[in-house]
Amino acid sequence: MQQQKCIFLDRDGVLNRERGEYTYRLDDFEVLPGVPEALRLLKKNGFLLIVVTNQAGIAKELYKKEDVLACHSKLQESCDTLIDAIYYAPGHPNYSESLSRKPNSLMLERAIAKYNIDTAQSWMVGDSERDLQAAGKVGVRSILVGDKYNAGAHEYQVKDLWEAAQVMLGKERVA
């Protein structure tokens, strides 16, 4: 079976608006501009699209698994169901230890095994250091989006997913 290339995507701050607090209500879940177009472009270039997101609010009992699943349904509907899989880690260290929760890499490892992913041809797009750390643990290149960190904080750092797609596709053509 041929290995596949993949884009791993953090959710809050990459795909939907980061609100500074937990996003679990459908009314608050807003897909960022350019996200559907970026996903379409990446899919057209042969990438699997897999979301990996920490959802500690479940362990903290701030919201339920059903709330997360409803937001994920809205995300899929907004993006023409282009996302191949969504993994989420409901734990939080104060409540339940989890190797799935980023910066750990178990969500990525599970996807790599299930989908036969070639890590050398794959990327992680995140908006925090913990996303990039998880990617590094499995040998996946990473790109930082957003403005949480000063310029130069990471080798690949851009404004949003659309710009990230341009960088990743540019690097893909060089490889």
> What is the dihedral sign for C-alpha 24, 102, 125, 82?
negative
Q: Point out which residues pair with 123 in neighbouring strands.
A: 7, 141
What pTM value is reported for the model?
0.93
CA distance 63 to 1: 40
| pLDDT reported for residue 175 | 33
| pLDDT reported for residue 15 | 98
Q: Is residue 137 scored above 60 in pLDDT?
A: yes
Find the largest Cα–Cα distance for the chain: 46
CA distance 152 to 146: 12
Residues identified as active-site: 10, 12
Neighbours of 40 (CB within 10 A): 15
Dihedral pair phi/psi, residue 36, rounded to 5°: -60, -40
> What is the dihedral sign for C-alpha 100, 103, 109, 110?
positive
Question: How do residues 2-25 score in pLDDT, each as one tens digit?
Answer: 899 999 999 999 999 998 889 999
Q: Is residue 173 scored above 50 in pLDDT?
A: no
CA distance 131 to 116: 21
Q: Residue 103 is encoded by which pair of tokens?
A: 């910066």
pLDDT, average across residues 67-86: 97
Q: What is the DSSP letter of 164?
A: H
Which pLDDT band, with edges at 50, 70 and 90, does 147 fall under?
confident
- Residue 72 three-state SS: helix
Residue ranges of domains in the chain, CATH in brackets: 6-174 (3.40.50.1000)
CA distance 57 to 69: 13
Tokens 């960022």 locate to 32
Peptide bond into 93 cis (omega under 30): no
Cβ pair 26, 70 in contact under 8 A: yes
The fraction of the chain above a pLDDT of 90, given in percent, is 79
Q: Is residue 174 scored above 70 in pLDDT?
A: no
